[in-house]
Amino acid sequence: MSEENQKPVKSRKSAGSLAKKPATPAAKRSTAKAAGAKPKAVARSRAAPRYTKAEIRAIFDRFHAADPEPKGELDHTNAFTLLVAVVLSAQATDAGVNKATKHLFQIADTPQKMLALGEDRVREEIRTIGLYKNKAKNVVALSQMLISEHGGEVPQDREALEALPGVGRKTANVVLNIAFGQPTIAVDTHLFRLGNRIGIAPGKTPLDVEKAMEKIVPPDRALHAHHWLILHGRYICKARKPECRRCVIYDLCKSPEKEKLEAVPEIAHQMAEKVAEEEKPGA
């Protein structure tokens, strides 16, 4: 068990426990605490709301309770096809990339096969994706580099990954996390917005948000943190209008943009109960 995980069970419960009606005294305290935070967060205007360690813990425990093994949405069959898919996903939707790579990965799932296919053919395969000409060039060039410098394997370190054509920090983080199980935080548009909107990891740049996230995410939740946040931002805490009624962390969220509901959504109650169950000794 990690050091973070051994920390104050009491405070973990106080931040994240809710109960169905009739509420227990502990649940009432928890709800009152969350409710009490609301006006403060609004009154704090533009400053990022502050969260206690226990509240942050509760947020990630709720995400875990709702989706213990979150998965990325880019189809791939190995580390190489994952790398290519992430390179292709810049300024494109995952669904659009998956559509284009379905056939491409059937005929070229290794750097050698991709190189043999050649730039013109790769370009044809991915022409439905934005910036496809440049992306085809990068995919073939990175395949060449994987063969010449890494024995045809995808390297497991950031520096080597970022040296590949078309690969930036975010792409490297996704590959390190999904293919190699490293607890990296890949900051995409959703995660960047979420870090700032709810204020758990504010920052002016994606790197600021990444660093802030690394500091606050409990170590035992770090591997899946970026998936949870990306999916939460994509489907619930959406850019134009967050769907707070469907939010598992509603009572914990201190965003000034939070919709003022009359009651905490049932899904938040359910996940708080699930977390409380998991925290029971022997669970």
Out of 124, 149, 157, 257, point to the residue binding ligand SF4 (CB under 6 A): 257
Q: Of 179 and 244, which has the nearer Cβ to ligand SF4? A: 244
188 is catalytic: yes
Q: Helices then strands (H, E): number in the chain?
A: 14, 0
CA distances 148 to 61, 111, 153, Å, are 44, 10, 10
Q: Is 214 annotated as a binding residue?
A: no
Q: Is 180 annotated as a binding residue?
A: no
Q: Is 71 helix (H, G, I), strand (E, B) or coil?
A: coil
CA distances 170 to 76, 119, 120, 150, 186, Å, are 17, 24, 27, 21, 5
Which residues, other chains included, contact 265 with Cβ-Cβ below 8 Å and sequence gap of 6+? 244, 245, 246, 247, 250
Out of 101, 173, 177, 255, point to the residue binding ligand SF4 (CB under 6 A): 255
Q: Of 167 and 253, which has the nearer Cβ to ligand SF4? A: 253
Out of 253, 271, 272, 275, point to the residue binding ligand SF4 (CB under 6 A): 253
Q: Which positions from 194 through 223 interact with ligand SF4, judged by CB under 6 A?
A: 198
Q: Is 76 annotated as a binding residue?
A: no
Among candidates 34, 15, 54, which has minimal Cα distance to 244? 34
| Active-site option among 13, 61, 135, 170 | 170
The single-letter DSSP state of residue 244 is G
Out of 154, 172, 247, 272, point to the residue binding ligand SF4 (CB under 6 A): 247
172 lies in the binding site for ligand SF4 (CB under 6 A): no
Torsion of CA 140, 146, 148, 153, to 10 degrees: -140
The amino acid sitting at 56 is: I
* Piece of 87-95, 107-115, 158-166, 240-248 that binds ligand SF4 (CB under 6 A): 240-248
Q: Is 90 annotated as a binding residue?
A: no
244 lies in the binding site for ligand SF4 (CB under 6 A): yes
CA distance 114 to 135: 13
Out of 242, 264, 269, 276, point to the residue binding ligand SF4 (CB under 6 A): 242
34 lies in the binding site for ligand SF4 (CB under 6 A): no
41 lies in the binding site for ligand SF4 (CB under 6 A): no
| Phi–psi pair at 137, nearest 5 degrees | -60, -45
* Piece of 84-92, 153-161, 183-191, 234-242 that binds ligand SF4 (CB under 6 A): 234-242
CA distances 25 to 14, 18, 280, Å, are 11, 10, 17
Q: Which parts of this chain interact with ligand SF4 (CB under 6 A)?
A: 198, 236-237, 242-244, 247, 249-250, 253, 255, 257-258
Catalytic residues: 170, 188
